[in-house]
Chain A
Amino acid sequence: MIQFVDVTKTYRTFEGPRTILRNANFTFDDGHNYGILGANGSGKSTLLRVIAGAEFPNSGQVRRNGRVSFPLGFSGTFHTQLSGRRNALFLARVYGADEEWMAEFVEDFSELGPYYDMPLQTYSSGMMAKLAFGVSFALDFDIYLIDEATEVGDARFRQKCARIFRERIARSDIIMVSHNGNTIRSYCDRGAVLLNGRLELFDSIDEAMRIYNRTLGIIDG
């Protein structure tokens, strides 16, 4: 469960500060996958980092119950001089996971072959994403955060990720941000719309989509 209590969050843009949330109160319940819809530039990625605990709100409190992932596929935690294996081992240590098991899982999942033991400098962005996803899945979080904008690699690998989520649907929840409802619909059962400093939650994706599309002016009335 993740609870936002009276949270205000702004972020800096070239045109000055922009408010993502203003005194917002809401709760992501356990046992549900949430899809958050927001227009480009509405602060979806920053919201995700606040949920992750990577950034703090300007005021208010975020309470978390359970292990929350870093934004999925994010490769900024990696050291580019080190190999995929070393990076996996590092994150295993940070999260207190079984190091050996983790190194093997990631090797298996990310399908990097000999590159797994080469420095990340030699990786393509697709390989980087594979490693990042492998590490995220190995860590077995209670709540996975997904930024739909992150690159996922080729189609087959995307499917593999989707399959993993299907397998884990019972034990892990997902909070996903996206600017279109397409992907969200195939992962989530509840929806939310980020707009004008508020996050409005809906019991169904379709309801959220309807409101979101109206704000974009695609559907009238």
Chain B
Amino acid sequence: MSTVASNLPSGSPSIEPAHDAEGAIAALRIERNACMVASDWPGAAGFATQIAALPTCTPEDLRIASGVLSQCGRMADALPFAIRASLAEPDNAEFAQHAGCVSNQCGDDRGAIDFLLKAAFLDSENAETYQQLSLSADRLDDLAAATALAQRAYQLDPSSPHRGAVAAHYLAREQRLAEATAILRRVVDTADPSPAICRMLAHLLQVQGDYVGALEAIDQAISADPDNAEYHAARAHALLELGRNDEADIALQRSLELDPANLGGLRHAVSILAEKDQFDRALSYSGRLLERQPNNAEFGNCMRHLLETQRINTAVSDFAEIAALKASAPARRAAPRTYSDGLANQFRIIMALVLRDLRGRHGHSHIGLLWILLEPIIHIGVLAVVFQFTMEGSPPMGDDFFLFYFTGVMPYLLLNHLVMRVGSAVRDSRGLMQVASITPMDLLMARSIVEFFITIVAFFIFIGLFELCGVDAASFAPQYVFGAFAITWMLGTGIGLVFATLHEFGGAIDSVLGVFMRIIYFVSGIFYVPALLPLFARDIFVWNPFLHVVDLMRIGFFPSYDPPWSDVPYAAEVSVVMLLLGLITVTATARPMRILR
């Protein structure tokens, strides 16, 4: 029965006759509307909230409550009413838009977007909705969306200079300077622009090197607002770029008269002059800066830099002098290079890289060696403790759980380190390849050598530790054990090289690598003996070359162990093929690997 003008605050309130049932609410509405007509917003807010608290209040009442609270600046109080109004009358585009605006003001970007999208759905031609959406998008760091929305708002309402300026602002932030300039130009040409918009246009043109246009725009800004110090400084900068130094001088003077504390304009003028090689004038401006603020460190630095550059310039003032010095120098001859030199060079470089990698691995601390031992100790220790209790008694081979797991874990760790560290070698030290003689292959080979060396050192330390603990570990058969290490080295290096290549196509390969190594861990008999597997599983697992490598290692340590499925030549063949494949893929991608990202 009651209708209140839905547009706030410009809407005209209408007054209702008081019926018995709704006498109270109608009376309150009259009071509220009277306050609104008188622009007494706090008063209106009091009545509006009272109305909104009554069960018979209408969505319009809620909307008005939110409106008057917004007018009072009480955005947080307004928000619940705005939301209730929009929820109570979901088909009202204006209510949804209002709720979105208030959410925006309260900093609730996602809430704002919900309401604003609804408003846009109900009324797709309302510029303000898009403008508010662009604000939310910007708050959520989606600059591209903010720009598109602001442009749409401007398209719908091209007569609004404000919407044009906002669209231009977003475009400029996206570095789309030409489009931003075009919009601002249209705004300046069609509407009566504010000086701030002219200033913005001038800035855009200046950045793009159109100094004449920038000067024109800033002059327009100054004619509208002649007493703005910053405008005069900007005018001076455009004039300096155009080489009209005397006029620039006057403009700077005017700027400083208007705002003596703001020396930014003068400081920027120094930069422009230095960039244009006009050192005398730059020095004089720099002097003025120091005159006004003798203790400003930045101004001092600026002056020192200018003096320095000038001194270097005058030290060798003329290229003819350099040319003469050059010409008088005796001719140089570079020593010819031979193939064996090249080979020796490459070897020297790889050795230098190996040393660097070894030294740099654990920084300056001496716990490096300890760390190398710690990883296998933890690994073997966990396996031994867990399985010692579950198996209750003796290990699958030999008498010592630790030795049994040692024979599985060592080759696995070597494989894992080779794959991981060779795989990431190029990415880790791309900068090194700025030295032309260091190739990707050098980096990868050095990594591979380092990992092999570290594992072998750790291996012998562990053998010593076993002996100290009274476990006979030293009487292994070296041909099997080192054969196993050699095959592991080829296999690991080969896979590492392939992954190094794949790295060039994106970092996502890292997760693949992790999964790959975990699968290898479970299907290679590292913490179990393949003999314990069901036959069908073993028939599948023997296709894994690394399983044979682990077996070979165990054959070397436990003379009685002689698995019938063992096929070491197969493992060796796969490893050689893998290594060759790795060498080929790396050679093929050596060029892109050099490119600095």
Contacts and interface: CB of A to CB of B under 8 A. Distances in A.
A32 B311 CA distance: 23
A162 B596 contact: no
A76 B432 contact: yes
A82 B356 contact: yes
A49 B434 contact: yes
Given A93-B351, A119-B363, A155 B326 contact: no
Given A54-B436, A76-B432, A189-B326, A82 B359 contact: yes
A31 B389 CA distance: 78
B364 A81 contact: yes
Contact of B434 (A56, A74, A204): A74
Contacts of B437: 53, 94-95
A149 interface: no
B595 A67 contact: no
Contacts of A170: 325-326, 328-330
Interface stretch (A83-91, A102-110, A192-200): A83-91
Contacts of A82: 356, 359-360
B322 interface: yes
A221 B209 CA distance: 17
Interface stretch (B21-29, B131-139, B312-320): B312-320
Given A79-B360, A82-B359, A52 B434 contact: yes
A213 B391 CA distance: 83
B538 interface: no
Given A30-B331, A171-B332, A93 B345 contact: no
A54 B434 contact: yes
B142 interface: no
Nearest to A117: B364
A70 interface: yes
A186 B315 contact: yes
B349 A94 contact: yes
Interface stretch (B57-65, B102-110, B302-310, B483-491): B302-310
A28 interface: no
B586 to A, nearest CB: 15
Contact of A56 (B312, B356, B591): B591
Given A31-B327, A33-B322, A90-B356, A162 B594 contact: no
B348 A185 contact: no
A79 B361 CA distance: 10
A55 B596 contact: yes
A175 interface: no
Contacts of A181: 277
Interface in B231-248: none
Interface in B336-377: 345, 348-349, 351-352, 355-356, 359-364
A176 interface: no
Interface string A17-51: 00000000000001111000000000000000100
A152 to B, nearest CB: 11
Give me the 4 closest cross-chain CB pairs, A-B, nearest first.
A76-B431, A53-B436, A170-B329, A93-B352
7 contacts: A53-B436, A74-B431, A94-B349, A94-B352, A96-B345, A119-B363, A142-B332
Interface of A: 11-12, 30-33, 49, 52-56, 65-68, 70-71, 74-79, 81-83, 86, 90-91, 93-96, 119, 142, 155, 158-159, 162, 166, 169-171, 173, 180-183, 185-190, 204-206, 216-218
Given A67-B334, A186-B312, A189-B320, 18 more contacts: A30-B331, A31-B326, A54-B596, A55-B594, A56-B591, A66-B332, A77-B435, A78-B431, A93-B352, A94-B438, A96-B345, A142-B334, A155-B304, A155-B308, A166-B316, A169-B329, A171-B329, A173-B326
